[in-house]
Structure 1
């Protein structure tokens, strides 16, 4: 396994990896790898011959009061996990390598007005900027992302379409702990007591899904009740709502054959948790 920190070195090594006609998969990460990331790597082998993992804590997607400085960085541990999974190459640049002379940015018109985009201004612009750069540097045949960050996936999908990236995009289902909590590098911030309460967000989503599947097609009161229930358990709600899967706009009334996502984001102590469940009628 090669570990590259510069763009020219990475491109040179990728030429070698492609020399035998191999399909290349990219798994973009910010490191602090957990079983959710490893599932992306394993799934990548169903779509490609060789896997590249990027590890880069992207400064331009963090707001001024967010956790860029404290975000977990576990380089040696991450490298060991990648090596165990048979990864061919890790691309692990620093910020000066990725943004040596940054003058341009990406603007989003619609898809970030709700969900995480509403409360994290500039976040998705930063995500799209770095993913666009990674696509251009690695030029993968396929790239894999987790469903937990579903708004991110839909935005990347739209970016790839509009910027004409000839890349297959794969969304891998949420990987969960035994108690249902969606795996996240930020779960490490949770105290023992907070960790016990954190799966309640997922259980709330499951309850909403059950009620909708049972015939509720105008879930306004149902959603309001679940927000109150979570707040009573110590959560500070960012959002908990039903969104159209394609437009990411809130859905007040479900219609036939509509694809939607029940999605929530909430603070438990100092940790922001996100989760979602896909539904279709």
Structure 2
């Protein structure tokens, strides 16, 4: 096998073997490598991670793989947007290589290993999507071991995911530095997401209120309002704004995601939310 250099201006590795060959060539020259894992449908938020990677390493590999193991049977795996050609155009001049494997390449017949990270993966998203983080940890571990980059960069919008990956890398002694990239937001503050395209114009207007309520709730907690009171009032505002359901609105210790036993936010704290409007589920977070 060899790199695909004909489909796009940017070379594409379709196999782990070709990815490793390309990375090995750079490493032999003493050059550093950054990996930015994505599921494609790239937007400005993804590209900001690629720009950060370019500042940190000589070469940037962007993986594009819609990972089936992190979707539950009732979730939107088949509907998840796939636009490899447009993604390749967006990455031209920014990345050195795209890694775009098939599901068969990443999960060959007989694949039977799962990576589970207990503790930090269990609350919040873990309560509503109990199989999700095992799928994330499994595919990220495979991507890190396939590319063996010096650093890997993940967006802070998926804060819990970032904490799960950092814990996994630490626990398994994977020699990769994990960096978080700041959340990129639309003009009204809505966190950028590939799922935002599903919002109707009316839903999109309502969605812009989520970050406003989140920020004001965080400000109350920082000012001494008990956490339970702040999140109760914030949750009521989210539903009153027009969201259909609120999965969670929580203020937690930033790294462990454990609750504050004294009902006061202190130290390194984070507010996290997941709410659904129409058929679209939105998540967001910010520091306290």
Tell me, yes or no, whether TM beats 0.5. Answer: yes
Separation in 2, partners of 1:59, 1:271: 19
**Counterparts of 2:171 and 2:247 in 1: how far apart (Å)?**
30
1:208 Cα deviation from its structure 2 partner: 1.0
For each residue in 1:195-234, what CA deviation from the matched residue of structure 2 results, as whole angstroms up to 9, or x when unmatched?
1110211111110122123332x12122111111111222
What is the alpha-carbon distance in structure 1 between the residues aligned to residue 18 and residue 260 of structure 2?
Answer: 47
Q: Please tell me whether the aligned partners of residues 117 and 137 of structure 2 are also in contact (alpha carbons under 8 angstroms).
A: no
| Structure 1 residue aligned with 2:3 | none
Cα 1:24–1:191 change in 2 (3 A) is same
Matched pairs, number: 276
CA drift at 1:55 = 0.2
State the match for 2:228 in structure 1.
Answer: 220
- Show the counterpart of 1:46: 55
Selected match of 1:14 from 12, 20, 23: 23
Matching residue of 1:79: 88
How far apart, CA to CA, are the structure 1 residues paired with 2:223 and 2:23? 51
Q: Which residue of 1 aligns with 2:186?
A: 177
Which secondary structure does the structure 1 equivalent of 2:77 belong to? Answer: coil
**1:203/1:255 Cα in 2 relative to 1: closer, same or farther (>3 Å)?**
closer
Gaps of 5+ in 1: none
Contact in 1 for aligned 2:122/2:130 (Cα 8 Å): no
Q: Of residues 34, 54, 58 in structure 1, which corresponds to 2:67?
A: 58
**Counterpart residue number, 1:233:** 241
Structure 1 residue 47 displacement after superposition: 1.3
Per-residue deviation, 1:255: 5.8
**Range 52-61 or range 237-246, more displaced:** 237-246
Structure 2 SS opposite 1:144: strand
- What is the aligned counterpart of 1:102 among 108, 111, 124? 111
Which stretch of the first structure deviates more once superposed, 91-100 or 228-237?
A: 228-237
Residues 135-159 of structure 1, C-alpha deviations (whole Å, 9 max, x = no match): 0000000000111001000000000
Q: 1:120 matched to which residue of 2?
A: 129
Gaps of 5+ in 2: 1-9
Task: Pick from 213, 219, 225 the counterpart of residue 204 of structure 1.
Answer: 213
Q: How far apart are 1:241 and its partner, in Å?
A: 1.0
For residues 140 and 121 of structure 2, the distance between their equivalents in structure 1, rounded to whole angstroms, comes to 16
Pairing 1:194–2:203 present? yes
Match of 2:4 in 1: none
In the alignment, is residue 93 of structure 1 matched against residue 107 of structure 2? Answer: no
Alpha-carbon distance in structure 2 between the residues aligned to 1:113 and 1:249: 10
8 A Cα contact 2:274 2:284, kept in partner: yes
Q: RMSD across aligned C-alpha pairs, in angstroms?
A: 1.2
> Is 2:150 the partner of 1:131?
no
Query: Compared with structure 1, are the counterparts of its residues 196 and 84 closer, same or farther at alpha carbon in structure 2 (3 Å cutoff)?
Result: farther
Matches of 1:207 and 1:255, distance apart in 2: 14
Whether 1:35 and 2:55 are equivalent positions in the alignment is no
Deviates more, 1:262-271 or 1:240-249: 240-249
Give CA-to-partner distance per residue, 1:124-182, whole Å, 9 cap, x none.
Answer: 00000000000000000000011100100000000000111111111111100010000
Where do 4+ consecutive residues of structure 1 move more than 4 Å? none
Normalised by the length of structure 1, the TM-score is: 0.95
Q: Which residue of 2 aligns with 1:270?
A: 279
2:221–2:230 contact (8 Å) kept in structure 1: no
